[in-house]
Structures are given as C-alpha cells and as structure tokens.
Amino acid sequence: MSWVDHPRSVTQFYWGLWGTGVLLVLADLVVHRHAETAFDGWLGAYGVYGFVGCVLLVLAAKLLRRAVMRGEDYYDR
Amino acid sequence: MIGELPAGLILVIAGCVLPLLPSALRGMLGIVAPALAFAQLLWIGSDCQQHVDAFGVTLSLVRTDALSLAFGYVFTIAAFLNGIYSWRARRGIEQPAALIYAGSALATIFAGDLLTLFIFWELSALASVFVIWAGGSSRAYRAGMRYLVIQLASGMLLAAGAALRYSETGSLDFDVIGLSSPGGLLLMVAFGVKCAFPLLHSWLPDAYPEASATGTVVLSAFTTKLGIYALARGFPGEEWLIYVGAAMAVFPIFFAVIENDLRRVLAYSLNNQLGFMVVGIGLGTDLGLNGAVAHAVADILFKGLLFMSMGAVLLRVGSVKATDLGGLYKSMPLTTILCIVGAASISAFPLFSGFVTKSMIMTSAAQEGYTVVWFLLIFASAGVFHHAGIKIPFFAFFAHDSGTRCKEAPPHMLIAMTLAAALCVGIGVYPAALYDILPLQVNYEPYTTSHVLAQLQLLIFSALAFSWMMRNGVYPPELRSTNLDSDWLYRRLGSRFVDSATGALHVVFATGNNASAALGRAAEGALRRLHGSQGVFARTWTAGAMCLSVMLMLFALLLLYYVT
C-alpha cells in the first residue's frame, strides 16, 4: 500500500489541514485589513463562512437528491 | 495577404480541406491553422474594419477592438490546444467540424453588425452539433438533436431581434443595445440561451457530456463564451443581470455535488463560472467588465484543462462516472497532477488563474454595495472548490481504489494539458500579461495580504468541511443516477403532454367519426323510408283515393273562403 492510501497518512493530512486552518485564523490578528468587504475585522470570518457554507451546501444537496434523483436509465425507458 | 482574410476564415477553410488530406497531415493542419489564425489576429491588431455590401446593406464583416481581440486570442489558443489534444482523432467528422466550429465562433466575435453576427452564430451552432454527434452513441445523437433545436431557437431570436432593431433604428450596428425596445429584449434572450441563464441552461449539462473525450473539450471553449461576449458588447451595466448571474453562480453547484458523471459535474461548474461573468457584465464597472472578460479567458483555459483530464480518463478507462473510478493516480500520475492544477485554478488558489480573475468581479460587487450578491458569490466560490476543486480529482484519482489499472494518457494529450496548465499558472503568477489585453484600463492588485489570507481561509475551511463530512459519513455517497433538471420539462413533461394531447385528440376524432357515422346512417335510413322503393313517396295510389284527397282539399279551400 502506498503512503497516499495509508489510513495514518490520511489522518495526518486531515489534522495538518486543521492546523493550517487555525494558523490562518490566527493570522487575522496580525494582518491589518482595509475595510473593503463586510467580513473585514471579524476573526476567521471567511473560514467560518466557508466551512458552514460547504456543510449546508452538502446537506441541501442531499435533500435535493430526494427530489430529483431517478434511475440511471430514467430517460431511456 | 493573410491580414485581409476575414478572421476565422482560415479555420473554416482548414476544416473544409481537412477531410481531403492524407491522414498524416490532418493532425498537423489542426495545429497549424489555429497558429496561423493567432498570427493573423496579431497582424491585424486593433481598430481593423472590413466592410462588404450584401443584401442591400453594408455588412461589417470584421471589427476588431480590445474586447473582441481578447476573446479572439483565447479562442485561437483554445483551438490550438484542441488541435494538439485531438492529434489522433484523424477519422470521422469531429476534427473538421471542430475547426469549422472554432472558425465560425471566431468570426462571430469579430462581427461588427447583427446580420453578420447571426450568420456566424448559426454556423457555429450547426458545426458544434456535429462535434456532439461525433460522440457516436444514440444518447449523443438524441442530446445533439435537443441541443440543435435550442441553439437554432437562439439564432431565430437573434434574427427576429436584429430585424426589429433595424426597423426601430434603421441600423444593424452591434454595439450597446439596451433593453428599452422589444428588439433589445429578443436579443437579450438569444444571448441568454448561449450564456445558459437559469432555466435556459439545460442544453449545457445535457449535451456536453455526451460528446467524445476530445469533443467535450472543444465544446467547452466556444459556445458559452460567445454568449458572454455578446452580452458584454450589448448589455453592459444592465442591473438585473447581476441577480441573474448570482443565481447562475449558486444553483448549479447543488446539482454538481450530487452528479455522478464527472464531465457533467464540470458542465454544471461551467454554468456556475458563467454566472460570475454575467455578474461582472451586469455591474458594468471598469473592474467588473474587465473581470468578466479576464474570467472568460481564464475559464476557457482551466475548464479546458479539466475537461482534457477527464477526457484522458474516459479514453483510458472508458467511463468518467465517479462510481467506476478511484485510485487512478497510480496509473495516471501526470494526468492527476495536471488535473489538480486545473482544479486549483478554478478554485482560485493564489498563484493560479482564477485567483486573479474571479476576484476582480467580486471586488467590484463589494465596491458597488451589492453585499448580498457578494455573499452569494463567496458561497459559490467555496462551492466551486468543493465540487470542482476537490470532488473531481478526489473521486477520479483517489477515493477508494477501483482496481482499474490503465496506461497514462497519450503524449499528445499530456502536451496539450501541460500547455494549458502552464497558461493557468502563468496568468496566476504574472497577471499583468492578461491585464494588458483586457478592454479597459486595469488598476487592480490581486496579491494583497488580506486578499490572499481571506481566500486561503475560505479554501482551507471548505476543504476541512469536505474531509470532516467524509470522515463522519455525512457526505452523500456517489450513486448511479439521473438527476432531473429543467430539461425534464421537455424531455418528460413535454413529451408526456404531447402523448396525452395526441391521445385526447384521438378520442375526440374517434368520437366525432362515430357520431358522424351514426348521423349518416340515421339520415340514410330516413331517406330510404321516405324515398326508397318501399318508401312513403314511392307508393302507388289508387284513382279513388286520389279523387277523394282532391275533393277533400277543394272542400277545405271552400271552407277557408267561407270563414274569411
């Protein structure tokens, strides 16, 4: 098994991603933003919005599946 | 001499000559012709006009300015990359059709009046349907038919709109049109079909994924960008386009998340990227319009790259369904890397092309005070990364190992993908080169610390959401399925309606037939009774009875006289 598939390296990658995320949020404390957009001045606002947005996107898509999903040969029947 | 040919003609001629050539030369011509067309554009440059008198009006066959040249350059580059990518596709209709399609799309871009626009608009629609049909399956044939009907309808609307405008203004010039007249409205709908506006979009995810591995790459570059170009030319700053574009950017991503066919996922994501461009056109600011053009250029390259990588997978594995794939990085490591470059570009990672183009549109939306639209675009950006940036490479090349072992993509495909990837990174690293060809003066700096930080936060946390849901089993599994979209309206509801209407008409006609037959029989019976050989009027009367009846009549007459 190559290292890409190994469960341990997948876990390491996953927690590495969290670590990067936390660092990026902390960087908000240091970086001075110009008041250009609605998010400026909020700690980690882009991160929170991205995370929550994606979770909601997937949950909504699961609901959408109930409404629109049909068999693969739906139009061929 | 090359400068005097109308733009696009080189490619159309090359497409017509191609089938006559020996097969060894065909691949070469597919590369040389776009290179010549690119050289021609450099040669003629800006402010070139070519007029010709026809149909009793003066047609402006070629009109070059910064807006049309930006699209022209990237169209010829796309045709060049397609030529390399489809080097081996030497037989059949696809390669000639693709060249004629690219050439007529190029001519459409440089059309200076609405009639010329209409002619090449229709030619590109006709040529492109052959690219879909070259997919070869019966599904491709039927999808191509639906595509053709919709594209020709767009052409009809364009012709009607142009005719109305001619009667309103006495001119066919193709410049800013506006929505103040019925002609303008028709033209807007005609362009909207090509741009895949909401509810006018279903031809795109319906037809594009049915073409061949090479065909879809060709298709992804031109038709939709013709719509974007025409919209940018005719309707800049039309405010409601901002909301149309925002809806286009948001809705397709839900479908992309649940779609199993990865090329169809890319078709939905193409629709979503067009939404960003439409927002930029609707804003109408220098930054917004420039952003729309820049993003169109970037999208042709990174979407082409993504479609190329999926085309290579289709060629080697025979399927691009997420349920059939997985673990392909072992067999196709180079394709994997190139696909990830495309994914990073569409997701707008810093140093990749999307980062320097999409943000122009979003910054302009924020500056103009469209906060809700800005929030929707940020959401759509996160969604793009989610479905195109992560889903495509993850399910094709990683995820669970499908056990498929195949060869790496052929060299010509790898070369085309590498060139496209180099352009994606080149634009991201050195955006000034792209900004130089934009129609308006640009004063935009994408690489500020706060922009880079904000974008990285958005992307990393979107990736975290994906991996968190994957690990917790929340993420919906890939399933073999057809997802209903608005094409259901005509593919199922419409055909059901026609079926039941035909059935109802049959009943009406049958009832009418029966009723008229019964009526005829009754009339015939009555005639027979009265006039038949045994009928009342055919009876023979005796002389006595006749005398009696005459006497009675005379008596009645006498009585009448007496009374009156």
Tell me: do B27 and B90 sit in the same domain.
yes
Tell me: do B459 and B549 sit in the same domain.
no
Q: How far apart are CA A38 and CA B271, in angstroms?
A: 27
Residue B142 confidence class, pLDDT cut points 50, 70, 90: very high
- Interchain CB contact of B394 with A (< 8 Å): no
- Name which residue leads in pLDDT, B490 or B251: B251
pLDDT tens column, B374-420: 999 999 999 999 888 899 999 999 888 888 888 999 999 999 999 99
Does B358 have pLDDT greater than 80? yes
Q: Specify the pLDDT at position B272.
A: 95
Tell me: do B487 and B544 sit in the same domain.
no
Domain assignment present for residue B552? The answer is yes
Return the residue of B nearest to A61 by Cα. B254
Structure tokens at B394: 């993850």
Which member of A61, A68, A72 has the closest CB to residue B480?
A72
Average pLDDT over residues B99-110: 95
- Interchain CB contact of A12 with B (< 8 Å): no
Residue B2 confidence class, pLDDT cut points 50, 70, 90: low
What is the count of residue pairs from A and B with beta carbons less than 8 Å apart? 148
The strand pair at A69-70 and B482-483 is best described as antiparallel
Question: How close, in Å, is residue B254 to chain A by CA atoms?
Answer: 5
Tell me: do B413 and B534 sit in the same domain.
no
- The ipTM assigned to this model is 0.91
Kindly report the pTM of this predicted structure: 0.89
Average pLDDT over residues B86-103: 87
Structure tokens at B560: 């009448």
pLDDT tens column, B429-443: 999 999 999 999 888
Q: Are B361 and B292 in contact (CB under 8 A)?
A: yes
Q: Count of domains in chain B?
A: 3
pLDDT tens column, B520-536: 999 998 888 888 877 77
Q: Specify the pLDDT at position B221.
A: 93
Q: Specify the pLDDT at position A70.
A: 85
Q: Are B120 and B63 in contact (CB under 8 A)?
A: no
Domain assignment present for residue B215? The answer is no
Q: How far apart are CA B128 and CA B223, in angstroms?
A: 8
- Interchain CB contact of A58 with B (< 8 Å): yes
Question: How close, in Å, is residue A47 to chain B by CA atoms?
Answer: 5
Q: Specify the pLDDT at position B419.
A: 97
- Interchain CB contact of A36 with B (< 8 Å): yes
Domain assignment present for residue B130? The answer is yes
| Interface contact B458-A49, CB threshold 8 A | yes
Domain assignment present for residue B516? The answer is no
CA B226 to chain centre: 10
Percent of chain B topping pLDDT 70: 99
Structure tokens at B222: 């031109």
Q: How far apart are CA B179 and CA B240, in angstroms?
A: 11
Question: How close, in Å, is residue A61 to chain B by CA atoms?
Answer: 5
The three-point CA angle B393-B397-B398 to 5° equals: 95
Lowest mean pLDDT among B9-18, B51-60, B453-462: B51-60
Phi-psi category of residue B156: left, alpha or beta, with phi > 0 → left and psi -120 to 50 → alpha = alpha
Domain assignment present for residue B207? The answer is no
Residue B1 confidence class, pLDDT cut points 50, 70, 90: low
Which ranges of chain A have pLDDT less than 50?
none
- Interchain CB contact of A31 with B (< 8 Å): yes
Domain assignment present for residue B187? The answer is no
Tell me: do B371 and B496 sit in the same domain.
yes
Residue extents of the structural domains in chain A = 7-76
Can you give the residue range of the structural domain that contains B384? 236-506
Tell me: do B489 and B536 sit in the same domain.
no
Tell me: do B470 and B549 sit in the same domain.
no
Which member of B456, B469, B481 has the closest CB to residue A72?
B481
Interface test with A, best of B257, B324, B377, B461 (most A CBs within 10 A): B461
Q: Are B335 and B313 in contact (CB under 8 A)?
A: yes
Rg (CA), chain A: 20
Closest CA to A18 of A45, A46, A42, A47: A47
Q: How far apart are CA B130 and CA B136, in angstroms?
A: 10
Tell me: do B475 and B370 sit in the same domain.
yes
Percent of chain B topping pLDDT 90: 69
Return the residue of A nearest to B452 by Cα. A24
Domain assignment present for residue B143? The answer is yes
Structure tokens at B60: 């402006």
Q: Specify the pLDDT at position A32.
A: 66
Does B544 have pLDDT greater than 90? no
Average pLDDT over residues B327-333: 90
Q: How far apart are CA B384 and CA B300, in angstroms?
A: 16
Return the residue of B nearest to A44 by Cα. B457
- Interchain CB contact of B472 with A (< 8 Å): no
- Interchain CB contact of B467 with A (< 8 Å): yes
Looking at residue B313, its amino acid is V
Lowest mean pLDDT among B11-25, B186-200, B335-349: B11-25
Return the residue of A nearest to B384 by Cα. A54
Average pLDDT over residues B206-217: 93
Question: How close, in Å, is residue B62 to chain A by CA atoms?
Answer: 41
Domain assignment present for residue B89? The answer is yes
**What is B433-470 written as a DSSP string?**
HHHHTSSS--------HHHHHHHHHHHHHHHHHHHHHH
Phi and psi torsions of B52, nearest 5°: -145, 140
